[in-house]
A and B are shown apart, each in its own frame.
Chain A
């Protein structure tokens, strides 16, 4: 038997913008086990719900994570609205959907850049992030914030988009789409990229399901599960289909995310074409009492929001199960048998979002 050694990975590591730590058990260069330890950015945000008015908490919920912020605000508000039986106006649902899809574009472009950076493909990293700026500019124009938007509130949204803004979004996504074509081509056809991604980190469909993988990770293993199919927000009127791949490797995860980008462009176009006129929020009276589980599809996968309310303005409990929490066990499984040099890329393919996970 080869000699076993344990190599610490992180918390401060060049490929990770956030701190996470893994103890890698190696036999020569091959990983035979990995023990994750988290907690570097645990803040205890769920506890703050006992100190903040439930109408103020969306601001905290958005700050669980700077990348998925829009979705977190939405998930929390949807859970409270469900408990209080509030019907959100149609226009607000459409606006929320447009913003959430824009978040997906910005998150996936960010991920593509980080993946390219992990492979040492610097120009591809810069190109992806250059395109991402165009979406951030649109967030800036429509919400006033680049990454933390604070537009969701219980009962609707805080800001409306006028026709100029909607047209600007349309021209921005047209621009991004045309410039994305060569990037997609590089990610899917380039020899260097293929040699790093193909066959790396295989997660079979059975493993993905039994280990609880979600999002692009699950869909890249061939399981067509996308929570948007439940039709929350404006998705009930839009044509959403889960995008899958059956290759089960890192290349498949990259391919799924690239196709989801194209899908998001279409969804935004469709939503802007169909958006109805009307109010953007309804007044909220009284305090919530009851409990509810809400599922939404974040860029990284299914997120579950649980709210338990007791009839006062302070909630009993808010719980968020983030996609990365579910994707860590499959990641640990996937790392077994890989080479040490592939570890950074494999960790990136689950698109880890540590500040979401630790809250």
Chain B
């Protein structure tokens, strides 16, 4: 990737994780990993977010919250599943209150495995998400939207 075509804003939501991946997501924003050097800002507002970073396996209670956050984000949007629980359900897969990966509820574009996902791989996932975002934008332009 030679240049970043957009400075995307991130939205983060914990859909039922152990907290580990969430603090690693926050870690990416702090001086050592500093994801802001890509022009990325963490926002709490889904209406202004381009990339949804989501952790943990979904349960029936967070399902509606996740769907609502996803629908509130403007197009084009990219979903990054952070951590193995968000990818498949991970260590909690057999628990009675876990549905499985995020892709059981909303479409996922980038999967970042790891327990907990390391900041390096989260940054890698976000940078990949930027590429997907570009592709989605190009597709939207082609459709005349």
- Tell me the A residues contacting B by CB distance below 8 Å: 11-14, 17-19, 39-45, 47-48, 51, 59-60, 63-67, 69, 110, 113, 125-126, 129-130, 133, 145-148, 353-356
Number of interface residues of B (CB under 8 A): 36
Contact B19 A44 (CB under 8 A): no
**Which residue on chain A has the smallest CB distance to residue B56?**
A41
Alpha-carbon gap, A15 to B33, bound state (A): 21
**Minimum C-beta distance from A279 to chain B (A):** 29
Contact A44 B96 (CB under 8 A): yes
- Tell me the B residues contacting A by CB distance below 8 Å: 12-24, 26-27, 30-32, 44, 56-57, 59, 61-62, 65, 69, 91-92, 94-98, 115-116, 118
Contact A353 B19 (CB under 8 A): yes
**Minimum C-beta distance from B85 to chain A (A):** 9
Chain B residues with CB below 8 A from A48, complex form = 94-95
The one of B65, B95, B118 that contacts A45, using a Cβ cutoff of 8 Å: B95
**A contact face: mostly helix, strand, loop, or mixed:** loop
Known pairs A19-B62, A129-B27, A129-B31; A42 contacts B97 (CB<8 A): yes
Chain B residues with CB below 8 A from A13, complex form = 44
Contact A130 B31 (CB under 8 A): yes
**Minimum C-beta distance from B1 to chain A (A):** 25
Contact B30 A126 (CB under 8 A): yes
Chain A residues with CB below 8 A from B115, complex form = 63, 148
**Minimum C-beta distance from A109 to chain B (A):** 11
Known pairs A12-B44, A13-B44, A146-B116; A64 contacts B18 (CB<8 A): yes
- A sample of 17 inter-chain contacts (CB < 8 A) reads A11-B62, A39-B61, A40-B14, A43-B16, A44-B96, A44-B98, A48-B94, A59-B91, A63-B20, A66-B20, A66-B24, A67-B20, A113-B30, A126-B31, A133-B32, A146-B24, A146-B116
**B contact face: mostly helix, strand, loop, or mixed:** loop
**Minimum C-beta distance from B120 to chain A (A):** 10
Taking A40-B59, A354-B19 as given, write out 4 further A-B residue pairs in contact, using a Cβ cutoff of 8 Å, ordered by the A residue number.
A11-B65, A130-B30, A147-B23, A148-B115
Contact B20 A43 (CB under 8 A): no
Alpha-carbon gap, A354 to B18, bound state (A): 9
Alpha-carbon gap, A48 to B18, bound state (A): 15
The one of B17, B30, B31 that contacts A41, using a Cβ cutoff of 8 Å: B17
